[in-house]
Structure 1
Amino acid sequence: MIDPERLAAFAAMTAVTSLVPGLSMLFVMAQTVGRGWRGGAAALAGMQVGYIVWWVLAALGLGTLAAAFPLAFTALAIGGAAYLAWLGIAALRHALAAGRDIADGARTARPSKAAFRDGILVAISNPKSLVYMVALLPPFIDPDAAIVPQIGVLAITGLAIDVGVGAAYIAAGNRLAGRMHEPRIRRRVDIAVGATYLLIAVGILADMLLR
């Protein structure tokens, strides 16, 4: 198993990186504002599924996979950025549409399913997930002990912390979502959500170019 001191250091690092409002948590808050707390919770759950994919890849040797198939990881990130940009444009079009019904658009008949799917895509396509696994994870792994059990413990710890922090972002977004029945507020929120998605997409692409 993993050394308690290593685990404590990993938990502290994960808490700090989760608390800072990065791309993922901004996405969760935006989903909450646009789709309500259920949408935010579904997005957070979807992101955890996406992170589990990364953890499994880490257990299989993520660094080796990234070196062997760099174009695949690049294409994945570009695809995710393009999808987020599409969501942003859709939100902006919804905000600028005249005479729309505030009940349609972002709040679809099955908002939670869409948010869950989007959360998976965001987590998998975010280049920072690769950096997290390749650059930040190794210092907390003891190479002289069994690797997979250590990764399992770190995964459970990281996911639990991320869910806790995400819940706080959902609560914050839900307070704003409560005023979405006001057309003026809804229009401003739609613009903010659309801009957030576009900024996240730009952030993903910029992160790729700076690596």
Structure 2
Amino acid sequence: MELHVWFAYVVTAIVFSLAPGSGTVNSISNGISYGTRRSLGAIVGLQIGLAFHIVLVGAGIGALVAQSAMAFTVIKWVGAGYLVWLGIQKWRDTNSLSTHNSDEHLSGWLLMRNAVFINLTNPKSIVFLVALFPQFIDPSKPQLVQFLILGATTVVIDAIVMLGYTTLASQMGRFIRSDRVMGKINKVFGSMFVGCGALLAMAKS
């Protein structure tokens, strides 16, 4: 994988991880309820769930490439369109992050288990990865190494972002839960998703 392709993926993966979702809600809730140190297990759990999705998506796309180059091209275009659609939906989203104080006696192991389940039961992450990965995979080159690079990059970036959300939430919980602030955040990330989708579409034209 060429360096400029990987760098472009890093930027896109950062946007993906920063955009509010179920993992973000979990990280913020844990940060408010337990603080950063006790929430580390939950961050690990989120990455376990994400890694499982990455393996599923990588295996599926690899099989697709082996069977049909045309189908691979189609899914790349569908993926670019999905990024634009997701950006429009995020722009229109006015919901705030709903957080609550959990049981104070939950252990780190239970926090991790709950976080794994949260990501495993979030189909949106699979759909997003299916849309995202083909944009950066060269079907003419070995697939496994490319998937490993993208997968590891995704997990590392998401772990760093969730740690940041957890730390921020432990200090600024009330501010993050503000409807007004979340509305602005949604619009910012919505614009980023639309921009990513448009750039990917133009790059293939």
Give the TM bin, normalised by the shorter chain: 0.5 to 0.7
**What amino acid does structure 2 have at the position aligned with 1:107?**
E
Alignment of 1:176-195 (within 5 A): none
Matching residue of 2:149: 153
**What amino acid does structure 1 have at the position aligned with 2:28?**
M
CA distance in 1, matches of 2:149, 2:140: 16
The answer to whether the 8 A contact 2:24-2:165 is kept is: yes
The answer to whether the 8 A contact 2:43-2:112 is kept is: yes
> What TM-score, normalized by structure 2, do the two folds share?
0.61
Alignment of 1:16-165 (within 5 A): 16-61=15-60, 106-108=103-105, 110=107, 112-165=108-161
CA RMSD, aligned part only? Answer: 2.7
Matching residue of 1:206: none
Number of corresponding residues: 142
Structure 1 unaligned segments of length 5 or more: list them. 66-87, 96-104, 178-184, 186-191, 193-211
In structure 2, relative to structure 1, the CA distance for the partners of 1:50 and 1:62 (3 Å cut) is farther
**What amino acid does structure 2 have at the position aligned with 1:166?**
M
Please identify runs of 4+ aligned residues in structure 1 that moved more than 3 A.
62-65
**What amino acid does structure 2 have at the position aligned with 1:119?**
A
> What TM-score, normalized by structure 1, do the two folds share?
0.60
* Percent of residue pairs bearing the same amino acid type: 27
**What amino acid does structure 1 have at the position aligned with 2:162?**
G
The answer to whether the 8 A contact 2:50-2:119 is kept is: yes
The answer to whether the 8 A contact 2:23-2:162 is kept is: no
